[in-house]
Chains A and B, each alone.
Chain A
Amino acid sequence: MLYNKSKIALVDCNSFYVSCERLFNPSIAKKPVIVLSSNDGCVISRSTEAKKLGIKMGEPYFKVKKIIKENDVKTFSTNFALYGDISRRVMKTLKHFSPRMEIYSIDEAFLDFSSIKNEDLLEHGYKIKKTI
């Protein structure tokens, strides 16, 4: 019956690579931003503004070049050293919020919330969001 009571949270960072690029570059905070895969092949991260322009996840760069030019979309090649560093910082911070944690990807993690009362779950989630 124990599994009935277990509560697992999934943490997923919004447009993670774009968020990392924006952290040290406030000039792109409100502009459409995309990050391209290795060798600038495909679009792998999009800001909300870029999503609204119709740029799809995984779309090849040459197909969206027109949209990029017409809308002044800020385009970045990957900087995995930066994303890895920020990811480690996020994960270290998340660890404070649960006794059990499993890192799932560079920007996703599962947290065990079983010890948290149902009525406190939402509050705990907001607290994590604010801290990160």
Chain B
Amino acid sequence: MKVILQFHLNKVGAGFPSPATDYVEDDIDLNIHLIKNIPSTFLIRVQGKSMNKVGIHNDDLLVVDKSLNPKNFSTVIANINEELVVKTLIKKNNQSFLTSGSEEFKDKINLTENPEIIIWGVVTYVIHAL
């Protein structure tokens, strides 16, 4: 996932050099903006519509960091019924739940009652095509 946008500076043989030369900045590198911890970061492609409410759509790319500890309302990748799924983590009254983006959602899963469910990683960015 390396995107490099080149700067095209005018070549000047003689005479007045380009005044922009002194202001050259680094190429835009999305890795720097989207990935904080390279060895623990993975890109995962979304399949399904269950998380549309929180802005995660079918075919989106998720940037997932396995080294982060999930917080309340973190979007996470969890291992549920032998499958990796994307969910929202909600902590309430000393209990943790996984939902599809809303506290009201009926399909919420109580993590305290299902200790076999493992939080695989924390989603840090969604890459969505418009």
Chain B 53-93: CB-based contact to A (< 8 A → 1; otherwise 0) = 00000000000000100000000000100111000000000
Q: List which A51-105 residues lie within 8 A (CB) of chain B.
A: 88-90, 92-93
Docked pose: A90 CA to B67 CA in angstroms: 12
For the complex, count residues of B whose C-beta is within 8 A of A.
10
Contact indicator B82/A92 (Cβ below 8 Å): no
Docked pose: A26 CA to B39 CA in angstroms: 20
Measured between beta carbons, the chain A residues less than 8 angstroms from B82 are 26-27, 29
Measured between beta carbons, the chain A residues less than 8 angstroms from B40 are 89, 93
> Is A24 interfacial (CB-CB < 8 Å)?
yes
Which residue of chain B is the closest to A91 with respect to CB atoms?
Answer: B39
Q: List which A1-39 residues lie within 8 A (CB) of chain B.
A: 24, 26-27, 29
Chain B 18-43: CB-based contact to A (< 8 A → 1; otherwise 0) = 00000000000000000000111000
Measured between beta carbons, the chain A residues less than 8 angstroms from B38 are 89, 92
Of the candidates A27, A29, A92, the one whose C-beta lies within 8 Å of that of B39 is A92
Of the candidates A27, A88, A89, A92, the one whose C-beta lies within 8 Å of that of B83 is A27
Docked pose: A88 CA to B84 CA in angstroms: 23
Given contacts A24-B84, A26-B84, contact A89 B39 (CB under 8 A): yes
Using a CB–CB cutoff of 8 Å, the interface residues on chain B facing chain A are 38-40, 67, 79, 82-84, 118, 120
